[in-house]
Structure 1
Amino acid sequence: MTVVPVSAQLPDELSGYMADFVQHMASEKRHSPRTCDSYQRDLHRLAAWLVEQGSTEWRAVSGYDLRRYVANLSRQGLSGRSIARHLSAIRRFYQHLLRERRATDNPALDIRAPKSSKRLPRVADVDQLNALLDARPDDPLEVRDRCMFELMYSSGLRLAELASLDIDAVDCKGGEARVVGKGSKTRLLPVGRKALEAIAQWLPVRAGLAPEAQAALFVSRRGDRLSHRSIQARLSRWGVVKGADQKLHPHMLRHSFASHMLESSGDLRAVQELLGHADIATTQVYTHLDFQHLARVYDQSHPRARRRNSRDHDDQNTGQEGNA
């Protein structure tokens, strides 16, 4: 797949307006640096493609051009979801250009991404997850790792929420954590008994690593706040060392939290609040996971639903031979 480097040279007509937009999203819309970087990469990719097509003006881009661009992204292997993200960035960019009188219309308004099959999130088995989290840490960094993973599974944290968690955001006596989620929205989450025990074991270790001015709850060997990539790598390592039969990643713990909570409680609204989803439709994906579990139980248990196994088939054939 061809990826256009962000450092590639673009005509001033294209790059200047794009830089203004990214600055607008950062300073006035208060979007996170990560979101702004995503906008910049997506728009830069479009701009580089336009240059290849001989176009150097944003106002000259038509709906036909964008349809060709979408087809090009699809040929390069991007999923429908990724293309939809690209189009969202382009629509917002043209809204900005219209307000600044640098464009006369928004050519992305009627463009839709190709549909892709809806993939359900992978969920870890409850018993296996319990065994992995009950595994004994072998060194101080593993004490930290188990604490991170206990907390992520206990409260359904996103990777970014865990990485940005400060030590004063966790109330161990009250059994709760104050988390800043998407859109800088704060929510208060319960923290389970096992996670609180893991935090109590980690805090003395942390004290020997982090300088007094460090606010982060989870720090590296050098006392710095742990990066997203480091957390991902440590979770993957934990799975390998402790004997998981599938690769572990942070979102799997969040998905597992949501699915296991919904399976036990059936309270979709409560799970929505715990996950910090603005739209309950986002949470409803877990009802499909829960239904899959129920369907398996039904297939295995209902006498009129069970598929005959080979033994049943053999018994039936024996009976037929005896009656013959």
Structure 2
Amino acid sequence: MPDTKTDWLTRFFSHLEHERRLSPQTLTHYRRDLKRICAFCDTRHIQHWQQLDIHQVRALVAQLHREGLHGRSIARLLSSLRSLFRYLLREELVTHNPAEGVSAPKVTRSLPKVLDADQVNRLLDIKGEDSLSIRDRAIMELLYSSGLRLSELVGLDLPDVDYADALVRVTGKGSKTRILPVGRLAIQALQAWLGAREGLARRDETALFVNRNGTRLSGRGIEQRMHQWGLKQGLDARVHPHRLRHSFASHLLESSGDLRAVQELLGHADIATTQIYTHLDFQHLAQVYDAAHPRARRKRP
């Protein structure tokens, strides 16, 4: 009997984990997407991947769309399926990729929500001198200073920050490493945290940021603390790690206009991902124009 769909999925996940070295979160997305695809195949009595063709993939997309799955989620699912079949092509199990040429329903891409400079300053104006307040100030200063992803921040170890040269080494998507500058205020906040960290961290813990139990602080813990600080500091916008990353990119692009540099700092593989911040910047400029230009201002009734 030829190997089943599940047999090949096991090999594919091993390939993703050990050869491509994808993050646990990305692996979770792959597992969720391919589990949904397998369920669809089971309803169509498709026992082997060689039996899946482009017409059935289109039927899958149509079914998911009818069920109300967001277009972005369908696009990610198709991406997972394409990756699977690229692997199966490499292993010479199949002769074509049935997901190639199939697209997800189009969705309008919403602009990222950012904090303005005043809101960022208010958020970071933390007066508390207890260990957790010092830690949270350092976390948010670093997020805004260097535009880190949440997963990159969580993964930081003590040696990853170079205080003399004001640099931080992060490991991003696809296990790619990049070196980022760290601002003066962020360096000061991190140095203050190092002193407070000694009273919290376990002796063998290498993580830069630890929780009250002395072990590596989780992404969920960071999200909860940032939300609480947003409320405590009186911001009317919800505060979360990615909003500070968006704010970093938007403010930097607005000041410099250097899209390529912002792409490098954010770790985007495709500059098209970074270009959304140009739309955000243009939206801001359009608002200024409408408010200030004599020919744009509305006449008072």
TM-score range, shorter chain: over 0.9
| 3-state DSSP of counterpart to 1:304 | coil
Percent identity over the alignment? 55
Cα distance, 1:103 vs. partner?
Answer: 2.5
Match runs of 1:253-292 below 5 Å? 253-292=244-283
| 2:107 maps to amino acid | S
| 3-state DSSP of counterpart to 1:142 | helix
2:92 corresponds to 1:101: yes
| 2:247 maps to amino acid | S
Match runs of 1:1-324 below 5 Å? 13-137=4-128, 139-308=130-299, 312-313=300-301
| 1:43 maps to amino acid | L
For residues 231 and 129 of structure 2, the distance between their equivalents in structure 1, rounded to whole angstroms, comes to 14
RMSD of the alignment, in Å?
A: 1.7
The answer (yes or no) to whether the contact 1:258–1:271 under 8 Å persists in 2 is yes
- Per mean C-alpha deviation after superposition, the further-off stretch among 131-140 and 149-158 is 131-140
The answer (yes or no) to whether the contact 1:156–1:274 under 8 Å persists in 2 is yes
Larger radius of gyration between Structure 1 and Structure 2: 1
For residues 116 and 24 of structure 2, the distance between their equivalents in structure 1, rounded to whole angstroms, comes to 35
Relative contact order: is structure 1 or structure 2 higher (C-alpha 8 Å, sep ≥ 6)?
2
| 1:276 maps to amino acid | G
Cα distance, 1:138 vs. partner?
Answer: 6.0
The answer (yes or no) to whether the contact 1:137–1:146 under 8 Å persists in 2 is no
Cα distance, 1:300 vs. partner?
Answer: 0.7
| 3-state DSSP of counterpart to 1:179 | strand
Cα distance, 1:274 vs. partner?
Answer: 1.3
The answer (yes or no) to whether the contact 2:126–2:133 under 8 Å persists in 1 is no
Cα distance, 1:56 vs. partner?
Answer: 2.1
Q: Deviations over 1:68-93 (max 9, x none)?
A: 11112222322222111111111121
Cα distance, 1:105 vs. partner?
Answer: 2.4
Cα distance, 1:66 vs. partner?
Answer: 0.9
Cα distance, 1:36 vs. partner?
Answer: 2.3
| 3-state DSSP of counterpart to 1:178 | strand
TM-score by length of 1: 0.88
Extract unaligned runs of 5+ from structure 1. 1-11, 314-324
Cα distance, 1:285 vs. partner?
Answer: 0.8
Extract unaligned runs of 5+ from structure 2. none
TM-score by length of 2: 0.95
Cα distance, 1:217 vs. partner?
Answer: 0.6
Q: Deviations over 1:133-171 (max 9, x none)?
A: 013126321221111011000111110111111111112
